[in-house]
Structure 1
Amino acid sequence: MAIPALPTDIFLIVLKYIGVKDLMRLRQTCKDFLQITQLRSVWHELLQTEVIQRNIPIPRLAGRSLAVLTSRELESCLADALRLRKNWISPSPVPMHSFTFKIVDTPRSQVVSLTFLPARDHRWLISLALTTGGDRIFMLQCWDIMLDSPTCIARRMLSDFRGFRINTEPSHPAVMALRSSNGIEILGIDFSAGNPDSGFVTLQTLDNVDESLHVFSGSALLTKFGDMRLLLKTIENPDFSVELQNPSHNEQKECIDGIVTEKYAVVVRTVTLELYSLSSFRAESGARVIHPITSHTWQWRVDSVSMAYQPSWASEPPINILVRYASLFPWPVNALHHYVLPCDEAYDPRDDVAAHNKPYFTEPVLIRTFASPIRLFARWDMVLGAYGTALWIDSHTEDYFDHAVEGQRLAGTLFTTVEPGTAVVPLDEQGISATASMVYQVREDDSWVRIAIQEEEGKIAVGTSTAEITIFRYI
């Protein structure tokens, strides 16, 4: 059977309107269609429409550009991306691989922090363990988790530890900032050092810095004094700093999270969300105190928050905000809230951020509220991924273990892109309107303490109170 004598360009136009399954059926009809459906332009177009424009991550790229991939490699990328997404957002995602490893052999040790390094081949996991037998000793480690037998490529034992932050800018040589009583140490990682004890490399030391760390983004550090005052400085010129100060509060409130860019900073405190212009800070001129150009007051006091940009083609995409409010009791409210800080369409990125030219509107939009119960004194955690997945640990295990006094659920949902002009929904009018879309794992005790997510490769890491880490791979 031969196809009609039409130019190949005509067939390529037609192929844009059929899906992947129809394309695979079409290539089985004859040799001519087989050859057409093997053209690189066909799979490049399908990858754009079926994956990239739908904000679906592509696993196993390993830093390669799509521009250098062959037709067969593009087809494989498309298949991997769709296979991962189908499993990832199913009600009960099934891990294709999983393995558990011990990060510290010392008794009475637990995982206290767990983070995938952004980008950098998507193969590095940073863990922090605390040992409480006798002296309090922290162990900071970087793991290569490409294989089922993770390798520690960098480690440092810390007896004088006061916090650290991972650099959110993956292209920067500085990987993290580490604080001790003497100041802040800026660290890089020699990924090929061979000896883990020399894997962490000191790039710079900021002596006599008394503030705690909040955000490390590129070269910018957001730090906090004990009286809650926030300072913004750069590692190139740490002697120059500005205070981010909200004049509506005589005493500055606790900062929980923030996003810092070249032009602006979005800061979430326990009572407010604040947007600052950093034009005077970058110019290292003007006042040493910056007030927010806009501020929003939360309905209740915030206990925990996680922030991430929405996957978007825009230069300033909307910001997803996952919030758990505090209660009058020593445990948070049994609900999670998905807010979006929407873009201001009148914003001109060519000009400085100002009250008349701001990238975001003042008030975050409440999208959904999720039931997420936590038993008294139970462990819990939450995180937002780069492609819109919200992941959390809670105690909602009645569907699995009846009314057991212990048990944890690793649950999540996918935050879809919010269209401009979405109306603000008052929290007291919405109520709990949603449940977790995905339940990844459950367990019958309360050993999970920390989680990390890497949507690009379909990985979830879970740390325990016994200093173990389990990696789940969903492709």
Structure 2
Amino acid sequence: MSPSKHLTSLPDDILLYLLLRLDVPSIFRFRQTCRDIYLLSQAKLLWMHLYTNQIVEGKIPFAPYWDHLNHLDALHLETLVVHALRLERRLCMSETPVVVPLTQKRSITWVQLVRSEWLLVASSDAGTSVITLWSIPHLLSACDTPVPLAEAFLSAPVKTGCIDAQANTVIFALELRGRIDSIEILSIVDDNGSPRICRLQTLDNMAHIRFLKDESIGVSLVNNLNIPSIVNWRDGSVKNLRPGPDLEGGAIAMHMGEGWVSVVRMTVIEIYVLQDNEYQCWSTQGLSSCSLRCLPRLRVISESVYHL
């Protein structure tokens, strides 16, 4: 091959053969070289081979998938292979992981790590919830019964939540399912050197939290209507991202940038730009069903669409 030729000038079957000779970490590094290699590394044949070669023949202790592998697409197969290999690596660790049991009287409904220092836990029964804050270093070093740093009680079960941990403040929003849907805004404050959970605001008739950033919280259900909205939790003001109920369903996910908000629905991603103190729909891009599996990367996807 002439030195002037690029690797991507080789036929796809040759490139795929090269990928088949690599391990998974090498494939991940190789796919970052260019778009053509990245697309080729998503071939179903590649990940079917890796599953057979490294998981089945490698006798990795991994529960068989409940469905036939031929029914899976390449992205699902890739996820399955990576998960199995990571599980094997953890099982082969020489150090035994530290396990600290935290027995709760209620069912745990939400857990969040805060600044790699605290563990925030919501546990609920049919009518109440308790929010506990634990010190991770203390949990890992204490020999006696762990004691939470702070507690707060709520009058409804917690469904889910979001957190906004900044340099000087930690604010979190919890979605409650009581007689009426509501969102509770709380913060972790310093009380003479000891953390304390402080209640800031209650937003009634709102549900399906999508993000929390500064004073803004994104929700997809307001007054029982599927209207993606931005709510200022301090003053309760609401900016709807569509003038009326959306007949195609509410927001699956939302992300807020500087002066814009993205809304992911079942088939489209919408970008709204703040103009004259209102959010106007600026761009709409179609989404395939495969794209919806990339929601953990929503921030990157949204910014890419916004800057098109």
Q: Using the TM superposition, give the Cα deviation of residue 172 of structure 1 relative to its aligned residue in structure 2, in angstroms.
A: 5.9
1:200–1:211 CA distance, 2 compared to 1 (3 A): same
Distance in 1 between the 2:173 and 2:165 partners? Answer: 13
Q: Using the TM superposition, give the Cα deviation of residue 210 of structure 1 relative to its aligned residue in structure 2, in angstroms.
A: 1.2
User: AA paired with 2:129?
Assistant: F
Distance in 2 between the 1:273 and 1:201 partners? Answer: 36
Q: Is the 8 A contact 1:219 1:236 kept in 2?
A: yes
Q: Is the 8 A contact 1:177 1:187 kept in 2?
A: yes
User: AA paired with 1:145?
Assistant: I
Equivalent residue number for residue 189 of structure 2:
190
Q: Using the TM superposition, give the Cα deviation of residue 294 of structure 1 relative to its aligned residue in structure 2, in angstroms.
A: 2.5
Where is the helix percentage greater, Structure 1 or Structure 2? 2
Distance in 1 between the 2:287 and 2:298 partners? Answer: 20
Equivalent residue number for residue 129 of structure 1:
123
Distance in 2 between the 1:179 and 1:250 partners? Answer: 22
1:155–1:308 CA distance, 2 compared to 1 (3 A): farther
Equivalent residue number for residue 170 of structure 1:
166
User: AA paired with 1:293?
Assistant: S
Equivalent residue number for residue 245 of structure 1:
242
Deviations 1:440-470 (A, max 9, x none): xxxxxxxxxxxxxxxxxxxxxxxxxxxxxxx
Deviations 1:361-404 (A, max 9, x none): 4xxxxxxxxxxxxxxxxxxxxxxxxxxxxxxxxxxxxxxxxxxx
Distance in 2 between the 1:253 and 1:162 partners? Answer: 23
Q: Is the 8 A contact 1:153 1:193 kept in 2?
A: no
Distance in 2 between the 1:252 and 1:298 partners? Answer: 15
Distance in 2 between the 1:293 and 1:142 partners? Answer: 41
Deviations 1:186-213 (A, max 9, x none): 31113556888xx2112x3245x31113
State the TM-score, normalized to the length of structure 2. 0.55
Equivalent residue number for residue 234 of structure 1:
232
Q: Is the 8 A contact 1:232 1:242 kept in 2?
A: yes
Q: Gaps (5+ residues) in structure 1?
A: 1-87, 310-318, 320-339, 345-357, 362-475
1:171–1:234 CA distance, 2 compared to 1 (3 A): farther
Equivalent residue number for residue 419 of structure 1:
none
Count of aligned pairs? 210
Distance in 1 between the 2:130 and 2:294 partners? Answer: 25
Q: Quick one: higher RCO (CA 8 Å, sep 6+), 1 or 2? A: 1
User: AA paired with 1:261?
Assistant: G
1:216–1:294 CA distance, 2 compared to 1 (3 A): same
Q: Is the 8 A contact 1:257 1:268 kept in 2?
A: yes
SS of corresponding position for 2:137: coil
Quick one: percent identity of the two aligned structures? 13
Matched, 1:297 2:287: yes
SS of corresponding position for 1:102: coil
SS of corresponding position for 1:254: coil
Matched, 1:211 2:206: yes
Q: Using the TM superposition, give the Cα deviation of residue 298 of structure 1 relative to its aligned residue in structure 2, in angstroms.
A: 2.8
Q: Using the TM superposition, give the Cα deviation of residue 276 of structure 1 relative to its aligned residue in structure 2, in angstroms.
A: 1.9
Q: Using the TM superposition, give the Cα deviation of residue 160 of structure 1 relative to its aligned residue in structure 2, in angstroms.
A: 1.9
Q: CA RMSD in A?
A: 3.7
Alignment of 1:143-154 (within 5 A): 143-147=134-138, 148=140, 149=142, 151-154=147-150
Q: Is the 8 A contact 1:217 1:261 kept in 2?
A: no
Q: Using the TM superposition, give the Cα deviation of residue 164 of structure 1 relative to its aligned residue in structure 2, in angstroms.
A: 5.2
Alignment of 1:251-330 (within 5 A): 251-280=247-276, 284=277, 287=278, 290-299=280-289, 305-307=295-297, 309=299, 319=300
Q: Is the 8 A contact 2:216 2:230 kept in 1?
A: yes
SS of corresponding position for 1:186: strand
Distance in 1 between the 2:246 and 2:235 partners? Answer: 29
Distance in 1 between the 2:213 and 2:242 partners? Answer: 19
Q: Is the 8 A contact 1:264 1:276 kept in 2?
A: yes
